[in-house]
Amino acid sequence: MPPVTFFSPQSVTPGDSRSHTGVTALVLENQEQHNLAELIERCRKGDRKAQMEIYELYYKSMYNTSLRILNHREEAEDVMHDAFLTAFERIGQFRGEGAFGGWLRRIVVNHSLDALKKRMDFLTFDSQDIEIPDQQPDNYVEQAEYSPEEIVQGMNRLRQDYRIVLSLHLLEGYDHEEISKILGISYDNARTKYSRARKKLISSLSEQRVVRMFQPN
């Protein structure tokens, strides 16, 4: 499916069939923002029905975020319970300066990392890797001919700290500075972790394709 493009009223001429679509999309977006702001305000007042609406609205995407970090369905479900409780307790701290989804996602990420730290096999992020010069752009993996499913499957085959750094950058959209703050490591270390993880991912994806080429149908 080709990407959907919304046009502003100024970008089309009168009578252009795209103008109605653009204005309608803008109205719907504004209405959604208004409804969300109303839900958030009701949550601040302890409205349980509003909390349930927020929960249902964001659960799936937040669950997927947690699952990509934990790689464990039951643990991700537990994290959802704790993360949403925390969000509703702290919702008064949300000032509307950014997207509510981004604010909520940060809580989910933090809870997921806390759950990961409780595991016996948790790998720390504070080791100082040696930087290897890398001429490939950060979005090299996205530019290659790999489907989202292949990328996620490839990430799940990587060691834990690499999978998490890749998830935060490629799938959740955090930049390296944000990742360094989330993981409590230096900016340089965050970039190095990502660079090494990306190389491992590309190698894993290439190997997997070779294996499939020689598998019988």
pLDDT tens digit sequence for 57-110: 999 999 999 999 998 999 999 999 999 999 999 999 998 888 999 999 999 999
Give the pLDDT band (50/70/90) at residue 49. very high
The alpha carbons of the chain give a radius of gyration, in whole angstroms, of 21
Query: What pLDDT sits at residue 95?
Result: 87
pTM of the model: 0.69
pLDDT greater than 50 at residue 8? no
How many beta carbons lie within 10 A of that of residue 191, not counting itself?
A: 21
d(CA 122, CA 18): 52
The DSSP code for 167 is: I
Query: What pLDDT sits at residue 178?
Result: 93
Find the range with the poorest average confidence among 1-15, 24-38, 62-76.
1-15
Give the pLDDT band (50/70/90) at residue 1. very low
Residue/partner pairs of 77-83 with CB below 8 Å, 24 or more apart: 78/115, 79/108, 79/111, 79/112, 79/115, 80/108, 82/111, 83/107, 83/108, 83/111, 83/112
pLDDT greater than 70 at residue 217? no
User: Using CA of residue 42, residue 45, residue 61, residue 107, what is the dihedral sign?
Assistant: positive
d(CA 63, CA 82): 12
Which residue in this structure is represented by tokens 């499957």?
Answer: 153
Mean pLDDT, the chain, integer: 78
pLDDT greater than 70 at residue 23? no
Predicted confidence (pLDDT) per residue in 109-126, tens digit: 999 999 988 875 555 555
Instruction: For each of the domains in the chain, give its residue range(s) and CATH number, in order of start.
Output: 9-117 (1.10.1740.10), 140-213 (1.10.10.10)
d(CA 34, CA 28): 10
